[in-house]
Amino acid sequence: MIIPVKNIFADKEGFNCFACGPLHPFGLRLTFSYDTDTDEIFTRFIPTELYAGFPAILHGGIQATILDEIAFWGAWARFKQSGFTYDLKVRFRKKCPVGEMLEGRGRIGDLNHRIVTVPTRLMHSGSREIYTEGTIRYYLPDRESRSDETVS
C-alpha cells in the first residue's frame, strides 16, 4: 500500500530544511510517499534551472542532497524515528537534467546495530533512466539517549 509521508517538522517554529521545508524560499520542497509492500520511499519533482550547476544539468550536490533526504524520510516512514546521516556514498552515472520530471527512490533496509542502510537512485520518471545512485547509512539513536525532544 502506498501512503503519503507527513512532514512532521513542517509546523515546527524555525524549521527551514532546504530539501523538504515547504516554506523554504529557494528549497526543493520535496514530498514523499512510502510503499509498505516493498519498503520503498519515493518522491517525484521537476527541478528548475535554479538548481543547475552547468547549464541544464542538476548540480551534483543537489543530487546528493535528494538521495540523503530519501534515506531520512524512508527511515522515518519505516521505523517512525528520526536519525542522522552516518555516511553517504554517491555515484553519478549520467548527466541529470533540470526541467524534466525526476523520481528519487530508496529501499529501506533492516535496522542493524542502530544503522539502517538505504540504497537510493535518482532517475527520469518516464524512461526510468538512472542518473545517480547512492548508498546512505542512517544512524537511529535509541530513544533514551536522544536529547532532542522535538522528534519521536
pLDDT tens series, the chain, 152 aa? 999 999 999 999 999 999 999 999 999 999 999 999 999 999 999 999 999 999 999 999 999 999 999 999 999 999 999 999 999 999 999 999 999 999 999 999 999 999 999 999 999 999 999 999 999 999 999 876 555 544 44
Instruction: Tell me if 109 is assigned to some domain.
Output: yes
Instruction: Tell me if 29 is assigned to some domain.
Output: no
Cβ-Cβ contacts under 8 Å for 106 (sequence gap 6 or more): 40, 41, 42, 67, 70, 71, 74, 118, 119, 120, 121, 136
- Identify the CATH number of the domain in which residue 46 sits: 3.10.129.10
Instruction: Tell me if 7 is assigned to some domain.
Output: no
- C-alpha closest to that of 75 among 103, 36, 111, 46: 111
Q: What is the pTM of this model?
A: 0.92
Instruction: Tell me if 99 is assigned to some domain.
Output: yes
Q: How far apart are CA 32 and CA 11, in angstroms?
A: 17
Instruction: Tell me if 150 is assigned to some domain.
Output: no
Output the nine-digit C-alpha cell for 51.
538548481
Instruction: Tell me if 16 is assigned to some domain.
Output: no
* Residue-range definition of the domain harbouring residue 111: 38-145
**Number of structural domains, the chain?**
1
Instruction: Tell me if 2 is assigned to some domain.
Output: no
CA-based angle 94:78:108, to the nearest 5? 30
Tell me the pairing of strands 40-45 and 102-107. Answer: antiparallel
How crowded is residue 12: how many other Cβ atoms within 10 Å of its Cβ? Answer: 11
- C-alpha closest to that of 68 among 142, 137, 140: 137
* H and E: helices and strands count for the chain: 1, 8
Q: What is the pLDDT of residues 104-120, one digit of tens each?
A: 999 999 999 999 999 99
